[in-house]
Structures are given as C-alpha cells and as structure tokens.
C-alpha cells in the first residue's frame, strides 16, 4: 500500500514537472521570445512602411535641380519562403544563382521572421514584369520607394547624393533608420536631411496564405499617412552654374560666386565634377567605385575643402588692415626698384613700378609696397613685441573669415590656415623672428591658405564696405519660404567704411588697365585682383577675385584654376564670363578678343605624377588581371575545343597594354 502511494506521488510529480515545463515554454514563446508572434502576425498582417517623397530642390529662379522617381525594393521574410523556381526568379530580377544565395543568406542572418531588403531599386518597368508573377514567390513582396533624379546633371558637389544607411548612421539616429533605408550622405542632401526626408507613414495589410493582399487591417484605423519632405529653394543660378561647369571642363579648380547683399551663393563649381545620375539605380555601387578611383577626385568639394595660397588677391585685405591701424594713408608712396629688402634678403617684385601709392600698388600688384605695409603692422609695437603685433594682425585677418569656418550649410567646410604666433615660436623660438622672417605672408604666400569660398567672401565684404552675410546655399525652406535668422545678420570685419574706396579704386584699375585688362567687360565696371598662387609641385595656380558692378554690386566671385599659370590668363577670363552672364544673361564680344568656347575646349588637367612604387604595383596588378583574363579565355576556348595555343597568344598581351594605360593614376599636388 505504501509502495502504491509512493508511486502515485512520483507520477504526480512527473506530470506537475511536465506542466511546469510546458507553462515555462509557453511563457517564453509568448512573452520573452517574439519570433513566433512575429511569424504568426506576418502570416496574416504585414506592416508596410510608407516612405515619403524627399523634398525637391530648386534653383533661385524655380528651376528643378533634383526631384524624385519611383522605384521598388523587393523585400523578403525568410521564414515564409517556400520552394519555388529560383531560375525564373533570378531571371526576372536579372541576378544569378550565386547572387540569390548571398542575398538570402544575408536576410536570414538579419532575421528569419523580419522583413529585409532582398534586391534594391527596381525600376517601374523592371518591377512590372516581376509583379505579374509575385504570387509564385511566397515570402517576397515589394516596397515602394523613391530615388533622386537630376534633370540638368549639374551641381553634383552642392547637391550631394543619398545612399543606404550604415550601422553607424542607424545607431546615431536612435532607431529612426533601419537597414535598407536611404539617407543624405554628402552635400545639401546631408545638411538638410531632417528637412528633406519628410515623415514616414505605416499601412497595415492583411495577406492570405497565397501572399495576396486582402485589404487594410481594421479598415485602416491604425494606418498613418506619409508626409512628403519640405521643398528647398537654393541660392544657385543654374544659368551660371552650368556655364561655370562648362568653362571648367578638363580643368582642376573651382568657381564660387556670392550675392554681396544677401550672402547667397550663386555659383558653386567644383572641377572635375560628375553626373549625379550615376549614383542612382542598381549600378550606383559600380559607378561610385569608379569615381572614387578617379585620380582627379571628383568627390572632393574644392570650393570648401581645397586650400590655396591666396597670392596677390590677399593684398587689398592687407592694405585695409594697414589703413585701419593708421599706419598708412592712401596717398603714401613707395618707390619700387624691382625688389624689397626683407632683412638681408631680397623679395622680388613683378616689375620695377617706380613710385606708387595705395591704388597704384594694387593695380600693379607691387610686392614691395605690401611688404612695406606688413612690416609697419608687425613693427608697430617694436621689434621685441613681434608676437603681440602678429597676434593682433592675425585677429584682424580672422575677422574676414580667413582661418575660420564661415559656417556654410554644407558638410566638411575647411578652415584654411592663418598660423599663430606660437607656430613661429616653435620654429624660430620665442623672440627669434621678425616681420622679415614671415614677409611672404604680406603677399598671400608662405603658410597662409584659404578656400575659394573664403576668397569670394572677402570680395563680398569689400563690395559691402566692411561687412558680409554668412554665405549659404539654401535661401528658403518650404512653402512658407523660411529663411534662417543667421543668414540675415551682418558680420562686421572691423574696418571703417571710408577706407574701402581707395582699395576699390585700385581694384577697378586692375581690370581697366592692369593685369586683368583682358577680361574687361564693355559697359560693366568690374573691380578685381589677379593672383598667381605659387605651387612648389608644378605650375602655379591661376587665381582671380572680383565683384561687379562697382556701384551697388550684384556678384562677388573667386576663380581658381590649378596648375595653369598667371591669374590674368585663365581665372580672370572665366570669372568675367560668369559675371556678364549673371548680370546680362548674355556674353558680348570683348575688345581683347576672348570668347568662352576657347576656355571651354582647353584642356588644363595637370600632368599625373606616378611614383616608382605605384608604377610597380600597378604593373603587378595589371599583369595579374591580364593573366586572369588569359586563363578565363583559355578555359572558354577549351570548352569550345579550341587549341591551347590560341588561348595564350596575343589577347593577353593586348589586355596588358590597355589595362596599364587605363590604370596609371594621376595624383594632384594639393591632395
């Protein structure tokens, strides 16, 4: 009897244990692990994200620069996939079996029960064929999205591009983005991402066992509508933007033009450029890889990232500081004998100018005059206090935006460089250097570096007689034409307005009869300054800055053409065409005989310097590729029962030559 009762307790204990295990498992499945819930839910209901259209971007006249076109991503829920004709599936999507396997394995790693992107960016035409047979492929469904399209294929570095989010972006977004989402990567697309992307919506659909939608869940009570992104009106004028890109064809450099009265950037050319449509669609990755390998670096946004010595374009600013400090007067003269004695060494001048005043020194670009001004500024507190005087000079230069970020609304703006006194203390030790030691700064050389945007902004400041508005690329947001307050604030540079006229007189003379005379525009008074920025790695950089007209200026401009020589030869003519096109919407015949087509057709791309180590590596890579091509051909020929001899003959040699020619890199001296 006792044995019976003992067995009863044991059996009861076993049943209780089994029940507890089952309850624990049910608790885990229903509460802890959401896989089964998701799987069950996905069998009947699917949460479809409604992606809003990104906001369009227009130029200042209302011309569309970028808009949207619909595409489809093919999504997959691996757990719902059942056996089907993969050959036909791959054919419809234009992929191979190996590609299918890789995509499906990636989807399973992400989640067997959650949807992820299987194939991206099918065009409407490609999706139409797939849609007809969608019911044959359980577990797969379409996701409507939109991608960018660029009607004019222009202003690439300004607009930027969108791309798929990375893990880092997803993490920074706090979960807003999920794998497969698109986000602005560069340019305005990145700066205004939160404005352009809009607000996503959700649609809950019921599906049957055949993967066919049966309508909205709860009659759409839990659906939310997508809200399109805001429209951006840019400050660019596409007339001069496209002209600028043509003029800079086969050249390295940039053009920046600003409206002085607003700070709006009218032209933003970075050359070489690229067609932004190449970064849209299923070939985006391949196209991007080619662009990244381009030795001229088309993704490099030169207007805000490239650094150049300002050269002689810096001289008007140097004069303004001397005038403000009371160290020179416009009537003060200097006798130029062809050089300036900076201590015990000569600083060569461009010519023997004879006796020149301020306006004459600017017109003739007299190095000696500006070395004299610089020496007065740095010796103002005595030779033993050069550090203090230099620090004061640097502060004045910084007020113009040199050595400081101007805060333009585009990523990765550079600061340029105006060295500190401590920098020279480290080189020459404190008290061991004087104005003569750093005399090259007086004429915009030495360690002084600026971006083209900073150069154009200085011209806007001179045009405004002492202040500038923060340069910006977006002038209005949305239907309400919102303008950011920071773009309406005047930034004064600490120079009294009275000191600008003598400087402007000299700048007008530069164009009327000086180094920029060949670029004079009939009927338009343009004030400018040519510059020849020294380049230790090759030909000098051609540089020109200007504003026009003199009275009530409408445009300030800076042009840099790398490795092309004097400022008056290339940069000044290009700038004059842009200025006249903007002011008159036409380009008239010039007394000098210059015309745009000559500059458009001229190839000034700098010669590519290949280091011996690079040549050896490229040759090895080329041989490796040529060998692979030969082996591939040999295998194909053997299948066709062709002779072994024909497989290793001339084709490999020809391939080697072509590859070497195509792959030799070109390196820029400033990158």
Question: Following DSSP, what letter does each residue of 541-591 receive, concatenated?
Answer: EEEEEEEE-SSS--EEEEEEETTS--TTTTHHHHHHHHHHHHHHSS-PPPT
Give every CB contact of residue 294 below 8 A, 6+ residues apart in sequence.
Answer: 272
- Inter-residue contact 441 to 347 (CB < 8 Å): no
Same domain, residue pair 539 and 637: no
Structure token digits, residue 469:
């508005």
Same domain, residue pair 203 and 327: no
3-state SS, residue 237: coil
| Residue pointed to by tokens 């060295």 | 419
Same domain, residue pair 199 and 54: yes
- Inter-residue contact 466 to 493 (CB < 8 Å): yes
Same domain, residue pair 188 and 81: yes
Same domain, residue pair 86 and 17: no
- Inter-residue contact 366 to 374 (CB < 8 Å): no
Same domain, residue pair 418 and 360: yes
Domain residues for the domain of 23 are 2-33
Number of separate domains in the chain: 4
Report if residue 520 sits inside a domain: yes
pLDDT digits (tens, 9 = 90+) for 501-516: 999 999 999 999 988 9
Same domain, residue pair 535 and 618: no
Report if residue 488 sits inside a domain: yes
What was the pLDDT predicted at 251?
96
Looking at residue 470, the DSSP 8-state letter turns out to be P
Give me the DSSP letters along 159-227: H--EEEPPHHHHHHTTTS--TT-EEE-SHHHHHTHHHHS-B-EEEEEEE-TTS-EEEEGGGGTT-B--B
pLDDT digits (tens, 9 = 90+) for 85-102: 999 999 999 899 999 999
Percent of the chain with pLDDT over 70: 86
Report which of 576, 485, 566 is spatially closest to residue 255, judged by C-alpha positions: 576
Please check the confidence at residue 640 and state whether its pLDDT lies above 90: no
Average pLDDT over residues 74-78: 90
- CATH number of the domain at 139, please: 3.90.1310.10
Indicate the pLDDT class of residue 130, thresholds 50, 70 and 90.
confident
What average pLDDT is seen over the chain?
A: 85
Report if residue 242 sits inside a domain: no
3-state secondary structure 410-434: CCCCCCCECCCHHHHHHHHCCCCCC
Report if residue 244 sits inside a domain: no
- CATH number of the domain at 359, please: 3.40.710.10
pLDDT digits (tens, 9 = 90+) for 224-245: 888 999 999 999 999 999 999 9
Report if residue 295 sits inside a domain: no
Q: Which helix (H) or strand (E) holds 637?
A: helix 612-639
- Inter-residue contact 340 to 371 (CB < 8 Å): yes
Same domain, residue pair 520 and 583: yes
Structure token digits, residue 434:
């004087």
What was the pLDDT predicted at 668?
33
Q: How far apart are CA 163 and CA 600, in angstroms?
A: 32
- Inter-residue contact 107 to 116 (CB < 8 Å): yes
pLDDT digits (tens, 9 = 90+) for 8-22: 777 777 878 888 888
**How far is the CA of 74 from the CAs of 144, 482, 541, in angstroms?**
9, 38, 50
Same domain, residue pair 94 and 204: yes
What was the pLDDT predicted at 619?
53
Report which of 571, 535, 556, 592 is spatially closest to residue 248, judged by C-alpha positions: 571
What was the pLDDT predicted at 49?
80
Average pLDDT over residues 263-276: 96
Query: Torsion-angle region of residue 606: left (phi > 0), alpha (psi -120 to 50) or beta?
Result: beta
- Final residue of a structural domain among 601, 636, 654: 601
- Final residue of a structural domain among 175, 207, 234: 234
Same domain, residue pair 407 and 526: yes
Q: How far apart are CA 546 and CA 550, in angstroms?
A: 10
Same domain, residue pair 546 and 640: no
């Amino acid at each position: 009897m006792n044995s019976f009762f003992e067995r009863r307790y044991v059996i009861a204990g076993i049943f209780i244990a089994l029940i507890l295990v089952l309850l624990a498992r049910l608790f885990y499945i229903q509460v802890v692990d959401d896989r089964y819930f998701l799987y069950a839910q996905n069998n009947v209901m699917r949460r479809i994200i409604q992606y809003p259209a990104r906001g369009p971007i227009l130029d200042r006249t209302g011309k569309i620069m970028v808009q949207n076109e619909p595409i489809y991503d093919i999504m997959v829920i691996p757990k719902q996939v059942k056996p089907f004709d993969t050959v036909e599936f791959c054919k419809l999507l234009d992929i191979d079996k190996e590609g299918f396997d890789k995509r499906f394995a990636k989807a399973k790693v992400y989640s067997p029960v959650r949807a992820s992107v299987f194939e991206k960016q099918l065009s409407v035409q490609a999706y139409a064929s797939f849609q007809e047979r969608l019911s044959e492929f359980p577990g797969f469904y379409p996701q409507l999205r939109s991608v960018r399209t660029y009607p004019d294929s222009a202003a690439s570095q300004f607009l930027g591009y969108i791309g798929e989010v990375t893990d880092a972006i997803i993490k920074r977004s706090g979960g807003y983005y999920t794998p497969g989402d698109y986000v602005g990567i560069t340019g305005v697309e990145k700066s205004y991402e939160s404005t352009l992307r809009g607000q996503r919506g959700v649609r809950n659909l019921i599906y049957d066992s055949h993967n066919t939608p049966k309508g909205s869940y709860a009659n759409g009570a839990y659906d939310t509508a997508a809200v399109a992104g805001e429209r951006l009106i840019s400050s660019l004028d596409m007339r001069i933007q496209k002209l600028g890109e043509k003029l800079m064809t086969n050249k390295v450099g940039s053009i920046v033009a600003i409206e002085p009265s607003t700070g709006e950037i009218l032209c933003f050319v970075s050359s070489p450029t690229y067609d932004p449509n190449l970064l849209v669609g299923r070939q985006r990755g391949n196209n991007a890889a080619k662009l990244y390998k381009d030795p001229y670096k088309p993704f490099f946004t030169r207007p805000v990232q490239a650094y150049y010595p300002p050269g002689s374009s810096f001289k008007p600013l140097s004069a303004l500081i001397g005038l403000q400090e009371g160290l020179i007067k416009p009537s003060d003269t200097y006798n130029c004998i062809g050089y300036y004695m900076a201590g015990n060494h000569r600083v060569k001048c461009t010519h023997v100018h004879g006796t020149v005043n301020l306006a004459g020194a600017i017109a003739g670009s007299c190095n000696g005059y500006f070395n004299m001004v610089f020496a007065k500024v740095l010796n103002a507190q005595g030779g033993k206090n050069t550090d203090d005087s230099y620090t004061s000079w640097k502060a004045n230069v910084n007020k113009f935006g040199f050595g400081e970020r101007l805060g333009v609304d585009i990523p990765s703006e550079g600061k340029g460089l105006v060295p500190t006194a401590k920098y020279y203390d480290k080189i020459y030790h404190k008290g061991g250097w004087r104005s003569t030691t750093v005399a090259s700064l007086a004429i915009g050389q030495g360690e002084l570096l600026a971006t083209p945007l900073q150069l154009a902004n200085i011209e806007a400041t001179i045009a405004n007689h002492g202040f500038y508005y923060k340069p910006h690329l977006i002038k209005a947001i949305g239907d309400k034409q919102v303008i950011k307050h920071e773009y309406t604030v005047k930034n004064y540079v600490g120079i009294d307005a009275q000191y600008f006229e003598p400087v402007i007189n000299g700048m007008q003379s530069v164009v009327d009869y000086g180094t920029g005379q060949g670029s004079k525009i009939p009927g338009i008074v343009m004030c400018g300054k040519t510059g020849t920025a020294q380049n230790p790695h090759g030909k000098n950089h051609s540089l020109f800055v200007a504003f026009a007209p003199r009275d009530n200026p409408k445009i300030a401009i800076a042009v840099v053409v790398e490795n092309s020589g004097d400022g008056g030869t290339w940069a000044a003519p290009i700038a004059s065409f842009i200025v006249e096109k903007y002011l008159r919407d036409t380009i008239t015949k010039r007394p000098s005989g210059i015309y745009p087509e000559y500059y458009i057709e001229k190839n000034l791309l700098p010669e590519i310097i290949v280091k011996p180590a690079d040549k050896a590596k490229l040759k090895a890579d080329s041989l490796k590729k040529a060998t692979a091509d030969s082996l591939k051909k040999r295998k194909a020929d053997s299948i066709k029962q062709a002779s072994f001899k024909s497989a290793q003959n001339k084709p490999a040699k020809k391939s080697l030559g072509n590859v070497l020619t195509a792959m030799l890199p070109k390196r820029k001296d400033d990158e």
